[in-house]
Amino acid sequence: MSEFRSIDHEILDIYAQAQKKGKKLTMPKVCSKLPYSKVEVSERIKALRDGGFLAGGRAFQVTSTGFDALKALEAPVELVESTPVETLPTIERRKASLSESLASEYMVDADQLWRVISRNVIRVKSTEPAPTPEEVMLVMSTCNTYNLNPFVNHIYAFRSKGKLVTPVGYDGWVHMANSNPRFQGVKYEYPNPDQMIERFDKQCFPWIKATCYIEGRFPVEIVVFLDEWSHTDNWRDHPNHRLRMKAYTSSIREALGISLPDDIDAELIQFNDMMAGDKAKRATRDTTETLLSQMGKIPGQLSGRLSGDPGPVPLKFCEPTVSVPDMPDLPDNPEHPINQDPPLTEEPPEEGENE
């Protein structure tokens, strides 16, 4: 004998317990209590609401129909492979898209969510085309996977080398860490005052060590060094603060297994893109100057026009570069074959000429 509990039973049970205690539940809290994906839980909550088992706004309440379904759990059901198991009344599953699932969580329209992500979250340059549907879906998928809120700047996106990069802001990293029930905090270790170094006309920490504590595993220690990350101008004002932020996000990333870049990674990506663009421009300019300098050696009016000189350029005549051998003198002997006239040849008579 064993008890069968479907995801619908577990969702109703969680809401019933919260309803008895007078507490309000949100989608992230429900997802943290269940070993299912966020998309699946949101679909089932929506189906339970449409089926009359849940009622209310964001804080759903179990209806009388839902309580009747919970009472059925009191009698254990024997699981037999050849015998179908009777569970909750059949609820028609609705295939909600990713945008509809996120929109229902934040109580907005799916089209409004799409516009917010395409216009505000994805940052494109004025010379770049508008975000594609695939890029918007990539941001939505990241928000859904890591429980990020696009309305409070948890995440943003930009293009780099033709691909979309989705960094998570510092507030997003704090949200992901605190949303994990196993997260217990981060502890920092700083160098001694006599180990401080001077950077950007300030006394800076050469390194910061962050230790992330997760329940049920060994602490994760990460050391970040100032010289490895302080390549952009954003480090000039608050280098110690930014180094601490990098230590925090690096420890959270490794402890929780999050494969997303942070703000400092995004700055480094954009800095490298800018340097690559400047290098390409310099290479093009150097090549153009080399070609123009070579064209300036061409004689004539053409070289002046190509080199950008508006004034007239006098024509210059080049000496011949190929030597022509002298013709040999003709012999004075009149009997020499070269001085003889060619022999006359008689042409054959035409037909009918002799007639």
pLDDT digits (tens, 9 = 90+) for 104-133: 888 888 888 888 999 899 998 888 888 998
The CA distance from 226 to 248, in Å, is: 14
Judge whether residue 34 has pLDDT over 50.
yes
- Tell which CATH classification among 1.10.1200.10, 3.40.50.150, 1.10.10.10, 3.40.50.2300 matches the domain 7-74: 1.10.10.10
How many alpha carbons lie under 13 Å from residue 305 in its C-beta half-sphere?
4
Rounded to 10 deg, the angle between the 38-50 and 7-21 helix axes is 70
The CA distance from 5 to 51, in Å, is: 18
Judge whether residue 92 has pLDDT over 70.
no
Provide the pLDDT for residue 299: 47
Across the range 309-332, mean pLDDT stands at 53
| Residue 307 binned pLDDT confidence (cut-offs 50, 70, 90) | very low
Cα 290 to the center of its chain, rounded Å: 38
Judge whether residue 314 has pLDDT over 70.
no
For residues 301 and 188, the model is more confident at 188
The CA distance from 105 to 42, in Å, is: 8
What tens digit of pLDDT does each residue of 203-257 get?
999 999 999 999 988 999 999 999 888 777 788 888 999 999 999 999 999 999 9
- Is beta strand 197-199 parallel, antiparallel or unpaired with respect to 54-55? unpaired
User: In 10 A of CB 99, how many CB atoms?
Assistant: 19
The CA distance from 198 to 206, in Å, is: 9
Q: Domain segments of the chain: what residues? A: 7-74, 98-157, 167-287
Tokens matching residue 140? 């939505």
